[in-house]
Amino acid sequence: MPSCILRLEKVKIHKKFEPLPFDKAEVKFYSFVADESLSIPELDVLLASTDPSTVRAQIKDVSKAILDRWESVLIENVKKNHVFTFGDTGKVIYRSTTIPESLDWLMLVVEIDRDIQNLSDRIDEILPEASADKLAENLAPLAELEALPQLDAARAISKFLLRSVTTFMKNNKNDQIGLIEQSFVRKFDYPDGRREGDEIQDLTGNMWYTYKLFADAD
């Protein structure tokens, strides 16, 4: 049976933002991976909507649905230059019984001072009306696409949410310390079914991560 796994092997955080006198921190990883099989019913309604008030409401419904799919891991007692190994087998962040033609991986890492248990419950704070309207404008052209408009919309919403969640977290005294936005295309990035990245610097320059992508057609 075909299978595909994306595994986070190791993460090293160069520094943290916890002020003295504290010398340890709590760190939370939020991860979201999407492929072309992504199915979010709320997206179909959104892409078919034209009324501004309906679109705004659907934007929030879709955003909540996507946030509910974010996986999170909280790790305590983190120091500067901490290395996360996630046990001896790493952390599986994506698993599929089919080999996708493409994968989009987003991961946000924050230092937790005030933990937010469920992001989707705070959608009105994360995505106020002005932000929802801006996101709706960005999504409008995607409804015209013939190929995979839902996946393109999910990508756009997820990246928008990354910024909005980062701002929301900061306002709640939770600082961003890592950010990954990585895309894989089977034809170019894992034609033989494997891809590995070793100690890659993230977008903040504050974190290095190692991953493995396994795809088995047998």
Backbone dihedral region for residue 90 (phi beyond 0: left; psi -120 to 50: alpha; all else: beta):
left
Q: Which of 97, 35, 96, 32 is nearest to 65 (CA)?
A: 32
- Run of H or E residues at 150: helix 149-171
Residue 16's pLDDT is what?
54
Closest CA to 93 of 2, 205, 13, 9: 9
CA-closest candidate to residue 6, choices 71, 68, 67, 63: 71
Q: Give the SS3 label for residue 23.
A: coil
pLDDT over 60 (residue 20): no
Fold classified for 3-216: Immunoglobulin-like (2.60.40)
Structural domain spans, the chain: 3-216
Structure tokens that stand for 63 in this block? 């955003």
pLDDT higher than 70, residue 147 = no
Average pLDDT, rounded, for the chain = 84
Q: How confident is the model at residue 37 (pLDDT cuts 50, 70, 90)?
A: confident
Does 217 score more than 70 pLDDT? no
Confidence of residue 93 (pLDDT cuts 50, 70, 90): very high
pLDDT in tens, 46-79: 777 777 777 778 888 889 988 998 999 988 888 7
Least confidently predicted of 4-8, 83-87, 97-101, 111-115? 111-115
pTM of the model: 0.85
